[in-house]
A and B are shown apart, each in its own frame.
Chain A
Amino acid sequence: MSGARLIVIGASAGAVQALLALLPSLPASFPLPMLVVVHVPSDRDNVLVPLLQAKCRLLVKEAEDKEPILGGVIYFAPSDYHLLVEAEGTLALSTDEQVNYSRPSIDVLFESAADAYGAGVVGVVMTGANHDGAAGLKAVLDAGGVAIIQDRTEAYATAMPDAALEACPTAFTMTLDSIASYLSSLGAA
């Protein structure tokens, strides 16, 4: 049994390979909703969603404003919009200023998720060459949620996992393989 209700994932440089290694391994019966922020240049928006949809057993879609958050769906933040979680279980978009030079920002997603879902959040920070996600992962931990960081030895870019680990020394570090089996086990409970 676990109290997990929502999974949030953030990745930057190297994200595509990492997500391709992680998301397709999730079973079709995976019951939790998953929200993903990836930093991509704003003119390359929609490539990731169809690419992953083709490989995943779960529904992969771009998040829409005021959309209800449903289990078994993987929502991606649209490029150039922040993605936030509302307490009543809906998604919200915003065009607020960039945070950590990024829009969407991982911190913005994680902090709002921690605020709305408290201890029910599992946060995963993966490969990336910046510091986005560190403060957000700390917010997840502070709210009683689970914090996971991709093992730096297999990350394409280590700055983001390193920054997250520095902000959250008690987080679990895991390889993509173990992240995949951990997430799958949340579903099996």
Chain B
Amino acid sequence: MSEIEDLEIQLLLEALYQRYHYDFRHYARASIKRRLTQARSQLGFPSISAMQDRVLHDPAMLPRLLGFLTVQVSEMFRDPSYFRALREKVVPHLRTYPSLKVWIAGCSTGEEVYSLAILFREEGLYDRTIFYATDINPEALAAAEAGVYALDRIRKFTENHQKSGGRSSLSDYYTAAYGRAVFDKSLRNRVVFSDHSLVTDAVFAEMHLISCRNVMIYFDRPLQDRAIGLFRESLTRKGFLGLGSKESLRFSAHAAAFSEFAAEEKIYQRREP
């Protein structure tokens, strides 16, 4: 039973790649399997193969499946100590550049983008920065661009912002209406939102800071190496790479190309070539 399901999963992932160029073939298998089994039962298919049949013939099915395949869990200033380290240790280096480029890879619904935009504004760097916010899920990108979050999440966001060393009140950056918080347009006038896959796409600009958090845990080792290779190529000399709090370069083929800059907070710096 489980073996057949493994085969069906492999075929479905291959079908998604051949038909839509979404490549999940080298994602960490255990969690993708869990989410596909969930998708099968929640969408009411008798088998993974039946789901494959539908998605091949009906493009409208694709976004629904993507919703299961890509995990959209995020939070503003998630792990405040990460943002505090950026503020206290990385920002002083960034200040020395006349203009800056920041890449938020796997930005999901935008919480991380607004966190960085606010941090850069508070530190006086916003106006000289261009932010690239990328993801493979179009619905997530649209939500990121809209910048609207449920009001009941704001308490946690505010608490995190304060713990990250926030110099202002989070409420300065949004308007509350109808149970939702709408973040200020001025926080995204320097943000470019775009579709980019760490699995299939190439480097597109030279960055001073890349923040890629809780994305690569979903990849297998070779795929992690591909993504980290992209980051390595993309970073300026001595550029910074920030990962999620339980991610590291320890098991990566590119580990030697980076030094630990703030080890606890998983911030790395590209070594001189």
Question: Known: A66-B221, A92-B217. Contact between A86 and B248, CB under 8 A?
Answer: no
Contacting A at CB under 8 A, from B8-30, are 28-30
Decide if B30 touches A92 in the complex (CB within 8 Å).
Answer: yes
A103 → chain B closest CB, angstroms: 9
Decide if B28 touches A92 in the complex (CB within 8 Å).
Answer: yes
Decide if A97 touches B73 in the complex (CB within 8 Å).
Answer: yes
Contacting A at CB under 8 A, from B200-254, are 214, 217-218, 221, 224, 244, 246-248, 250-251
Alpha-carbon gap, A87 to B28, bound state (A)? 10
Decide if B34 touches A96 in the complex (CB within 8 Å).
Answer: yes
Is B71 interfacial (CB-CB < 8 Å)? yes
B206 → chain A closest CB, angstroms: 28
B-contact bits for A51-82, CB 8 A (1 contact / 0 none): 00000000000001111000000000010011
Find chain B residues with CB under 8 A from A116 CB.
30
The chain A residue with its CB closest to the CB of B251 is A66
Q: How many residues of B contact A (CB 8 A)?
A: 21
Decide if A81 touches B246 in the complex (CB within 8 Å).
Answer: yes
A-contact bits for B23-42, CB 8 A (1 contact / 0 none): 00000111101110000000
Is A175 interfacial (CB-CB < 8 Å)? no
Find chain A residues with CB under 8 A from B251 CB.
66-67
Alpha-carbon gap, A111 to B5, bound state (A)? 14
Decide if B2 touches A115 in the complex (CB within 8 Å).
Answer: yes
Find chain B residues with CB under 8 A from A97 CB.
71, 73
Closest 8 CB pairs between A and B? Answer: A84-B30, A112-B30, A94-B31, A92-B28, A66-B251, A95-B73, A65-B217, A95-B214
Q: Name 21 interchain pairs, CB-CB below 8 A, sorted by A.
A: A65-B217, A82-B31, A84-B28, A84-B30, A84-B34, A86-B28, A86-B29, A87-B29, A92-B31, A93-B246, A94-B28, A96-B34, A96-B73, A97-B71, A108-B34, A111-B34, A112-B30, A112-B33, A112-B34, A115-B2, A116-B30
Q: Assuming A85-B30, A87-B30, what are 4 further A-B pairs, CB within 8 angstroms?
A: A78-B246, A86-B30, A87-B29, A95-B217
Instruction: List residues of B whose CB falls within 8 A of some A CB.
Output: 2, 28-31, 33-35, 71, 73, 214, 217-218, 221, 224, 244, 246-248, 250-251
Instruction: List residues of A whose CB falls within 8 A of some B CB.
Output: 64-67, 78, 81-82, 84-87, 92-97, 108, 111-112, 115-116, 143
